[in-house]
Structure 1
Amino acid sequence: LQRNFRNVICVSDSLHAINLVLGSREPFHRYAVLVMEIKDLLGRDWRTSLVHSLCEGNQCANFLSMWGPNCRSELVIIDEIPVGL
């Protein structure tokens, strides 16, 4: 699926996760493989920003963090605002 996104902003309420992705490689970390996959995605031909936001201060991130684990797909592209947001 090609969407031709060129500017991607990823907002996370986990400062630890952002620091793992932006920091140096930790090959023995529990999530090292996932972190490397994210680093590979960030290295593609687009502009990316990782932004920390407190969960309580970001209604969208809070909603998606509760909605995501109940989703049955590995990748979800949201074209319209989900009901409840």
Structure 2
Amino acid sequence: MKLALSHGYTSIIVETDSEVVINVFVDDTYVSHSKDTLISDGKFLIRQFRNFKMVHVLQEGNQCADFLAHCGQSSTWGTTILDELPEGLTPLLDCDALKVSFRRIR
């Protein structure tokens, strides 16, 4: 969200396969504790957007997120900012845009 704001975006749609995340950030069913800085920061960032929407998608419907999550598992701890698309992501972006779903086999 910080990256989107820094690029001047005022509207954003966040897709997640976690209903818990939606409950915490959008439905406000999570009672925040003062030490939950990640949640507090996220809620603050959400309020900075003119239009914000968070929607639930099945993992099979968001191949890009699945791909990037697996990339993240092999990286060092912390935030990784990509300057260019990792090899193999472009075809998945096309499929996500067309709402093509895939069966997960692992």
Cα distance, 1:46 vs. partner?
A: 3.0
Q: Structure 1 71/54 Cα, relative in aligned 2: closer, same or farther at 3 Å? A: farther
Counterpart residue type for residue 18 of structure 1: I
Greater relative contact order structure (CA < 8 Å, 6+ sep): 1
Name the larger-Rg structure.
2
Query: Which consecutive unaligned segments of at least 5 residues does structure 2 have?
Result: 90-106
Query: Which consecutive unaligned segments of at least 5 residues does structure 1 have?
Result: none
Runs of 4+, deviation exceeding 6 Å: none
Q: What residue in structure 1 maps to residue 96 of structure 2?
A: none
TM-score normalised per structure 2:
0.61
Structure 1 CA distance for aligned equivalents of residues 76 and 50 of structure 2: 27
Structure 2 CA distance for aligned equivalents of residues 9 and 3 of structure 1: 15
The yes-or-no answer on 1:74 pairing with 2:74 is: no
Q: What residue in structure 1 maps to residue 53 of structure 2?
A: 49
TM-score normalised per structure 1:
0.73
- Give the paired residue count: 83
Report the RMSD for the aligned CA atoms in angstroms. Answer: 2.7
Structure 2 CA distance for aligned equivalents of residues 28 and 45 of structure 1: 23
Q: Structure 1 16/64 Cα, relative in aligned 2: closer, same or farther at 3 Å? A: same
Q: Give % identity.
A: 31
